Amino acid sequence: MLSPTLHPPTSGLGLVGRRAGGVGLGMAGETAEGPSLTSARLHPDYGGSPLWLPNRRVEWEEIRVSQLLRWRLEAWVNEALHHAGLVSTDGDFDAEGHELARLLSDELNWSVFYET
């Protein structure tokens, strides 16, 4: 199993961030036992990227996903930080969080869950 750190792109990595038109390589890796999944949580916190590994935040520059998903992620974080319930209900916000986690899981080939 991979450690909860990001791994630089190598020949052992696939182009996993490109399925939905994303740019760059995804950040999943492989071990001798076969493919492994990086586990991450989605939680808008402290004004930075909402994607967290067990030991640190994934910086915006490290999140290589499609432009549309990046835009949705940024809009969702903006809603959490600046509008807190003025634009959408808590239920709508949580539903978008779950959907973003699903989309991130697909594009990054990670296991991403939304933490309410």
Structure tokens at 1: 């199993």
Q: Give the angle subtended at the CA of 55 by the CAs of 47 and 106, to the nearest 5°.
A: 75
- 3-class DSSP state of 99: helix
* Confidence (pTM): 0.67
- Select from 44, 116, 50 the least CA-distant residue to 83: 44
Q: How do strand 111-114 and strand 30-31 relate by DSSP bridges?
A: unpaired
pLDDT tens, position by position, 17-64: 433 343 333 444 433 344 578 999 999 877 789 999 999 999 999 999
* Cβ proximity of 58 and 40 under 8 Å: yes
pLDDT tens, position by position, 85-105: 555 788 999 999 999 999 999
Write phi, then psi, for 41 (nearest 5 degrees).
-120, 150
DSSP code per residue over 12-79: T----S-TTS--S-----EETTEE---EEEE---TTS-SEE-SSSBPPGGG----HHHHHHHHHHHHI
pLDDT of residue 14 exceeding 50, the answer is: no
